Amino acid sequence: MTIAARMTREARDTLFLLAVIGWTLLPHAAHVPAWCSLLAGVILAWRGWLAVGNRPLPGRWVLVALLLAAGGLTFWSERTLLGKEAGVTLLVVLMTLKTLELRARRDALVVFFLGFFVVLTNFLYSQSLLVAASMLLSVWGLLAALVLAHMPVGRPPLARAGALAARAALLGAPVMVALFLLFPRLGPLWGVPEDAAGRTGLSGTMRLGGVASVANDESIALRVRFDGAAPPPEAMYFRGPVLARFDGLDWTRLPEPPLRARVQTLGAPLRYEMTLEPSRLAMLPLLEATPADGGPQIDGWSLRLRTDLQWQLDRPLTDRVRLQATAWTTYRHGPRTATPALDDLRRLPPGYNPRTLAWARELRTRPELAGADARTLAAALMRHVADGGYGYTLEPGPYGRDAIDEFWLERKLGFCEHFAAAFVVAMRAMDVPARVVTGYQGTDPVAVDGWWIVRQSNAHAWAEYWQPGVGWLRADPTAAVAPERVQRGRSLPPTPGLVAGTIGAVNPALAAGLRQAWETLNNRWNQAVLNYSRQRQFDLLRALGVESPDWQDLARALVLLAAAAAAAGAGWALWDRHRQDPWQRLQARVQRALAVRGVEVGPQHGPRARAERVRAALGTAGEPLAAQLEALDRLRYGDGVVQPARRWWPGFAKALRQVGRP
């Protein structure tokens, strides 16, 4: 006999409910304070111990003390009892404390509906496919526990309750789909202000080693697909923060001047569609160059193009967004003649990297570079990088105060930001305006469902310098030392985790296939569900024949569907009214069969009472019938059976034939 079979039904059902609650609360462990997770785990374990041992539940004062302690700890950790973080913390504690009051069905119902609310709070932090799947399992578990609570007789098996819960969920699925498709969206579908807190990604500042740390992250930064053929990898530069101020250690952005970005597009335009994951930046890393004329539009967001070609948002990108834009991979931008603003891009902090500055000034005075323009000086620096014995690595090691000196003249080991920063410092030392540009370069080698994936590991830094009469020109020193990084968009592979590393070592093709399959599924989830916007709702109505849909049309469609669903429900209820419980049908059938044999019983008589009447009416001749009725009583009220077994009737029919008719 299994452990579950030896337990009382109450203990088994309680442990099942506690397991479902634990599973529902598990994702919150990454967001609530550690004391909250520990307290919730202890309370659930305590409640399980009480259930298994059939021990009494704690008194009210114990619960009050725990609640007061939880409130004090919440205020201590969150500095408030209001707001999302404090509210979720208190909800987790209240959910677990309520399990210590499971004395009646009313208490169980409160726990069930608190559980459904906790399921919703998980989506305040993430709406990923993995979270959705785990919460779907939680909903099924809570429904199964609710079904068990409404089966007071016998010992119904968990499998039966789970099947009934799954059936109920499937019956409600059409309503869920209709609400998803037609309920008016008044803003972005998902996202809360703190949704992207703590995410890795590009930053508005750069210190040597910072981009390398981002490049160790294999998570997806964005997906992009093109109308027509994709551009070559060396043209896939996704422009992020432009860093022009240098204090010797950190590169930061300059304030935006009140000027319009000057962009001269050349060649054919490139239409593209992009899905951006949430980040901590108030900007969009779009394909270079995406000018204002072909710029994106995002519902609920205010965008503007800065003079340095950064697309600025009015707030950090805390939502997953989808946009369409037009880019030109061949372009010119910036002033053609010198302006006072360019002076800021020649400045270097005094006292930092003196040897690199001296080296650059000496290079500038060489006879072959006398009177050379900025483009010629940049080419000289690129030749130096290509021929100077430099190495490209994700782990160059820490650098000191004069990091550019140490990298440029001594160790010569660095990642892309080392090359870009040193290039800009050398150009400024030669009195050429220059700046660092960060973003992403390249994509995965193979598109998934037509979407090219750009990962955080594609994070990149390059340089721009100003050429009179032309404007700003891109220079990527990384291409001089590691051409495959730019020409193929191939980033350095980060160190894999334990599981991924093991699978990759045993079967690299399997590891790549599993990752691609998961990302394909995740992308379809993002496109079909998370990116289902108001515009796509209107497109659905147009496909249904509505010429100029608005939110009122959505409301009308929803009301019509609700009316149709209500009519269908009424029809189902009318049909179901004529149905009977299988047990009642069997009772009536047995009653008719006994009446034919001269045994009068009523619908109120159970199987055991009927057996006694059979013995009284038929004597020893009716013993087979009485034995069958007692067997039915055991089947009906015994462990593990809710409805009478179908195998019982043939034996009863045989006993009827033995008795015969009077």
HSE (CB half, 13 Å, CA atoms) of 327? 26
Catalytic residue among 36, 416, 444, 553: 416
- Beta-strand pair 413-414/391-392: parallel
Q: Per the structure block, which two tokens stand in for 313?
A: 């948002």
H runs (alpha helix) in 252-373: 354-364
Q: Per the structure block, which two tokens stand in for 42?
A: 């202890």
Q: Which residues contact 467 (CB under 8 A, 6 or more apart)?
A: 373, 374, 375, 473
For residue 631, give the amino acid letter. Answer: A
Alpha-carbon distance 76 to 89, whole Å?
12
Catalytic residue among 195, 319, 444, 476: 476
First to last CA, the chain: 46
Q: Per the structure block, which two tokens stand in for 318?
A: 């805390």
- State yes or no: is 416 an active-site residue: yes
DSSP state of 228: S
Residue 627 class from Cβ within 10 Å (0-12 exposed, 13-18 middle, 19+ buried)? Answer: middle
φ/ψ of residue 97, rounded to 5: -65, -35
Alpha-carbon distance 527 to 548, whole Å?
24
Alpha-carbon distance 348 to 352, whole Å?
8
Catalytic residue among 28, 333, 460, 605: 460
Q: Per the structure block, which two tokens stand in for 40?
A: 């919730």
User: Residue 531: enclosing H or E segment and its boundaries?
Assistant: none
Alpha-carbon distance 314 to 45, whole Å?
47
Alpha-carbon distance 7 to 3, whole Å?
6
- Residue 483: other Cβ atoms inside 10 A: 14
Q: Which residues contact 221 (CB under 8 A, 6 or more apart)?
A: 201, 276, 277, 279, 285, 440, 454, 455, 456, 458, 459
| 289 contacts 265 by C-beta, under 8 angstroms | yes
CA distance to 245, 484, 603, per residue, from 124 (Å): 37, 41, 54
Q: Which residues contact 401 (CB under 8 A, 6 or more apart)?
A: 248, 249, 352
HSE (CB half, 13 Å, CA atoms) of 451? 24
- State yes or no: is 36 an active-site residue: no
Residue 64 class from Cβ within 10 Å (0-12 exposed, 13-18 middle, 19+ buried)? Answer: exposed
- State yes or no: is 476 an active-site residue: yes
CA distance to 25, 118, 366, per residue, from 363 (Å): 63, 66, 5
Which residues are tagged catalytic?
Answer: 416, 460, 476
